[in-house]
Structure 1
Amino acid sequence: MKTVYASTFVAIGACASESLQDNFIIIFGEGAPDDLAEYCFIHRTDVNDGGTFAAGSTLVIGEKSYPVTAVGDVARENLRELGHITVRFDGAAQPEFPGTVHVDGSAPASIKPGQKFCMLSE
């Protein structure tokens, strides 16, 4: 597996952690608009090689790996350009929305600044 995207969480929006209880997270790169940032896990990009990812790729948050089960039509571009995707921890085989990445497994109990976020692909 090759790292196609890697970043480090640097800030947690005031309302962001509530989404973990509903099995999803919204991530956004630094510079997210203020009205969105309060709902997002904000990160700083370390690796963005433009590589692609799809169902069968692996998403890593902290120490936990999640198999990717579906990727929306604009999720790849949004992640590369804005550092923005919604991750749903529901194992769905079809993307719910164009900017959503679905993974198999339960949402982490928490996400803290300093933790890593990576997308690994073949």
Structure 2
Amino acid sequence: MEQTKTTIYESSFIELGEQTEIFLEENMLVIFNETVPADLKNISAVHKQTEFKHEVAVGDTLRIQENDYKILFVGEKANDTLRDLGHCTIEFSGQSVSDLPGTICVEKKPVPKLEVGGKLAIYRD
């Protein structure tokens, strides 16, 4: 019997800021929905505004396009900013701690090449 996944957040990228690649080289990704402030748009991967269905928790899975990453840390403000602005900073660090309250840390694996139309999702097994 196949286990069902609970979708927490699901969207797709609609615009990639010109400096997104620089952040990815540092194993970081800044995401916002369409409400992104103009001064942060050039560093952000912008995705469609979508329903925030559940709180994100350690042990959930982040999927970017076809790549899955276990969530190791959820900053104290990450759920609030994700719900309100579709925003968080994702660190592909393999760490279970961050000084930044709006950060979600995931396992350290190669960061995918982002594409407009690519999928962004968080789910729970």
Q: What interval of TM-score do these two structures reach, taking the shorter chain for normalisation?
A: over 0.9
Query: Can you give the 5+ residue segments of structure 2 that lack an aligned partner in the other structure?
Result: none
Instruction: Answer yes or no: is 1:53 the counterpart of 2:56.
Output: yes
Whether 1:39 and 2:39 are equivalent positions in the alignment is no
Larger CA Rg, structure 1 vs 2:
2
Deviates more, 1:38-47 or 1:112-121: 38-47
The structure carrying a bigger strand percent of its residues is: 1
Match of 1:106 in 2: 109
For these two proteins, the number of residue pairs brought into alignment is 121
Cα RMSD after superposing both structures = 1.3
Matches within 5 A, 1:1-122: 1-49=5-53, 51-122=54-125
Maintained 8 Å contact 2:67/2:112 = no
- Residues 83 and 107 from structure 1, CA distance in 2 versus in 1: closer, same or farther, beyond 3 angstroms? farther
TM-score (norm 2): 0.91
Matches of 1:52 and 1:84, distance apart in 2 = 14
Moved over 6 A (4+): none
